[in-house]
Amino acid sequence: MKYLKIIVFQLLFTTLIYAQTEIKEGYIITNNNDTLHGYIEKDSHLKSAYQCVFKKDLNANDVIRYAPGEIFAYGYNGEKFFISREIKWKDSTKEILFLEYLINGIVDIYYCKNNEGEHYFLDSEKTGFIELTGGKNEIDGKYSDYIVKNTNHIGLLRLAFADRPDFFNQINNVSVNHNSLINVGEKYHNLVCTDEKCIIYSNKTYINKLNIGAYIGYGFNEIDSKIIRFRTEYILNMDVSYNSIIAGTNLILSIPQVNDNLFLRFDLLFDYGKAHASHSYSDDYRVYNYSFDFYNLHLKHTINLEYKYSFKKIEPYIYGGFSDNISIYSKLDGTFVSDNLQINEIISDKNIEINLFNPGYNIGCGLNFKIKDIYKMYFDIQYHKNYLLFTIDEKNSVLSTLNFTLGYYFKN
């Protein structure tokens, strides 16, 4: 078990190192309107506004870093598209950034994130290129105890859609976020332009997706010492190790509003195993021998944050969070024997108190992969550490579990 733990932590570290840079197929558009195809490092929203890291070949060592203004635009195939635009901020300073192009229509909508926070922009014939301010809770200037919602964005949207007053009722409930702005921009475009559809670059990226998986596997378990007391003595210095079979399911929910690579992961798994242990100790008068079998069926449920990196054919990921081990069925059978005193008694469940809930934590890593581009499989390594498995005279035990599983994601 010790060496397996070392392997797991090495895998976690290796996954983190290799996944620091996520490469996506993409393209750049030069200021001369030439399109060059290749690969682009996928950065966070913050970095995406300030640089584009491009290389023509996936295996090339040399990369080219473009700042805003040095190229016209860049994008990931089938996903996001960024364009260089000059921004004039409220303090009259000007800055060129790569803005994410959300929708290209009668009214264009852009997005970027910098050190000051998130920003949305409108570009239309009636408004020109302006920042879409508002939509956030603020402290009232006259009454500092009151928090009010800034609705400046409603007025700006009404100005942009001024030729269709009948559309204003669609604006009143608009929030300043990707989905809401894309939705209202698309509806307006379809209302006033029937011969040409608008282009939505981010309509797929910012929809929360749910993947459902099922898996089976094998587990290595270890219970710490001092788990059983018979009469006045503990069984000392005895770690109980056993193996278990595993079956479970997980739900993976994307949260692109926070980060494209971040997911909420919920696991529910059953594991069944049988532990056997024996121990002997002696004093000045007698020799004691303990031997027992411990049967258990556990239900584990976990809540994790998962970070996934997408490459061309594989998706490594790491995760960590809360774990709870619920004892559904536990049974203890054993004997206590002393040859000197001719004692042969039964050790049973009454010797220990088995806790129903055993909270702890878990970490893991894995790899998603496809077979013939049809079946999406994954290999996963989970490490759980749960406390309070047993309680003896207020002394708690710990269950450490290392699971190796193979699973399949159903189509969503």
The CATH number of whichever domain residue 353 belongs to comes to 2.40.160.20
355 with 386: CB under 8 angstroms? no
Indicate if 173 and 105 belong to the same structural domain.
yes
Give a yes or no: residue 139 inside a domain: yes
What pLDDT band is residue 178 in, cutting at 50, 70 and 90?
confident
Residues 61, 190 within the same domain = yes
Residue-range definition of the domain harbouring residue 225: 210-410
Tell whether 2 is covered by a domain: no
pLDDT of residue 407: 94
End-to-end alpha carbon distance in the chain: 37
Same domain, 92 and 194: yes
pLDDT tens-digit series, residues 337-352: 655 544 444 444 454 5
pLDDT at residue number 237 = 44
Judge whether 12 lies within some domain: no
pLDDT at 234: 47
Domain ends where: 136, 168, 200?
Answer: 200
More confident residue, 274 or 343: 274
Let me know if residue 11 belongs to a domain: no
Q: Do both 139 and 249 map to the same domain? A: no
Asked whether residue 33 falls in the same domain as residue 154, the answer is yes
Segment (H or E) for 22:
strand 22-29
117 CB contacts (<8 Å, ≥6 apart)? Answer: none
**Domain endpoint, select from 156, 173, 200:** 200
Q: Is residue 194 part of a domain?
A: yes
pLDDT at residue 78, rounded to an integer: 79
> Tell me, what's the pLDDT at 177?
87
Alpha-carbon torsion angle 178, 180, 186, 192, nearest 10: -130
Q: Is 357 in the same domain as 401?
A: yes
**Domain check: are 68 and 137 in the same one?**
yes
- pLDDT of 279 strictly over 50: yes
pLDDT tens digits, one per residue of 181-238: 999 999 999 999 888 888 888 644 456 788 899 999 999 988 775 544 444 444 444 5
Same structural domain for residues 217 and 284?
yes
H helices of 200-245, in order, are none
* pLDDT band (50, 70, 90) for residue 240: confident
Last residue of a domain, one of 200, 226, 261: 200
The pTM of the full predicted model, rounded to 2 decimals, is 0.62
Q: Average the pLDDT over 108-115 and give the result.
A: 90
Domain membership flag for residue 69: yes
Please, which contacts does 81-90 make with residues 24 or more away whose CB atoms are closer than 8 Å? 81/201, 82/48, 82/52, 83/110, 85/110, 85/121, 85/129, 87/119, 87/121, 87/131, 89/131
pLDDT at position 344 is 47
Query: How many folded domains does the chain comprise?
Result: 2
Residue 90 lies in a domain: yes
Mean pLDDT, residues 364-392 taken together: 80
Q: Do 131 and 280 belong together in one domain?
A: no
pLDDT higher at 203 or 50: 50
In a domain, 205, yes or no: no
Angstrom distance (rounded) from CA 233 to CA 18: 51
Q: Which residues of 30-46 are buried (b: 16+ CB within 10 A; e: fewer)?
A: eeeeeeeebbbbbeebe
Q: Which helix (H) or strand (E) holds 40?
A: strand 35-42
Residues 367 and 315 in one domain: yes
pLDDT at 21 exceeding the cut of 80: no
Based on the domain organization, do 254 and 274 belong to the same domain? Answer: yes
Assess whether 296 and 386 both reside in one domain: yes
CA 341 to CA 286: how far, in whole Å?
Answer: 7
pLDDT averaged over every residue in the chain: 80
Q: What is the mean pLDDT of residues 71-84?
A: 91
What single-letter amino acid sits at 142? Answer: K
